Structure 1
Amino acid sequence: MEDINKSTSWEIDGELWLHCPVCGKNVRDYDICDHCHWQNTGETNIDGGPNKMTLAEAKEAYAKGLKIE
């Protein structure tokens, strides 16, 4: 299983890319993950914002195969 807690980021054509904090797939910084649909805001476990779940709740849901909201 891949490590979804990687903090590595890289730049491609002037855009910053990183690993989604929920599923670990490659995603542009502050973009919505095409795989799990988490919107990376740079915040960790806050209520509100574009995501209905906290990051911890989203990680737990993803691990169980549930929809990320």
Structure 2
Amino acid sequence: MRTPCLLLVALCLLFSQVAPGDSLVIGHRPDHYNCYKSGGTCLYSSCPIFTKATGTCYLGKGHCCKPK
């Protein structure tokens, strides 16, 4: 009975590894959260008319667009 339990625990630990670059800093908010909180919208394309880009979203892959 111990061997299957130990194998299960080993598999759980193996698949629960945090990928490099993922941050687990307490209190850190992703950039898209900050964009939405300040009244912006995250878009992967360029900002539409009557809005301006004020930052980035999705780890720099998108634009935070706010009304002018």
TM-score if structure 1 supplies the norm length? 0.26
The structure whose RCO (Cα within 8 Å, separation 6+) is larger is 2
Q: Name the structure where strand makes up a greater proportion of residues.
A: 2
Question: Looking at CA atoms only, which structure, 1 or 2, has the larger radius of gyration?
Answer: 2
Q: Name the structure where helix makes up a greater proportion of residues.
A: 2
